[in-house]
Amino acid sequence: MFILKGIEQLEKAIAKAKKIRPRVEFDSFGRYRVSGSKGRFYRVICKRSDNGYKLVECTCKGAEKGLVCYHAAAALSLHVALARREQATQMCTSPAKETDEVTYLPNTREPIRVENYGSVRLPVYN
Ligand SMILES: [Zn+2]
């Protein structure tokens, strides 16, 4: 588990994710499964702690040691996109209805390939 403080922290992991192109599967908001190098999936959880820190958990060995892994980077790029969409919908109408229109929120378990890592922008918490 690590605390996400800014995009700089993720640069290396994002570069690796771009190279490896893991599959990211959506479970529920903040819960994702990301494919690892040996074909297994790691669970990545993105959440906000009580004191406002953004916490990212991954079940891989690296993350256990507090390292930023590419699974987390891949999941975060999706998570951030979803979070942004959620914020936008809260300003408009009922979130439940709006999220139905998010194309990558499938009711199926189809794998999602996350693109555009370069455009990922993450909020900075001090
Ligand atoms: Zn990981």
**Are 57 and 105 found together in one domain?**
no
Residues 78 and 41 in one domain: yes
Ligand 1 mean position, distance from CA 42 (Å): 6
From start to end of the chain, where are the E strands?
2-4, 23-28, 31-35, 41-48, 54-58, 112-113
Does one domain contain both 105 and 87? no
> What H or E segment, with its residue span, contains residue 13?
helix 11-20
- Please tell me the distance between residue 92's alpha carbon and the centre of ligand 1 in angstroms: 35
Domain count, the chain: 2
- Computed over its alpha carbons, how large is the radius of gyration of the chain? 14
Per-residue pLDDT in tens (0 to 9) along the chain, 126 residues: 999 988 889 999 999 999 999 999 999 999 999 999 888 899 999 998 898 889 999 999 999 999 999 999 999 989 988 888 877 776 654 444 434 333 343 343 444 444 444 445 454 443
pTM: 0.69
Domain span at residue 124 reads 96-126
* Shared-domain flag, residues 87 and 100: no
Question: Do 11 and 61 belong to one domain?
Answer: yes
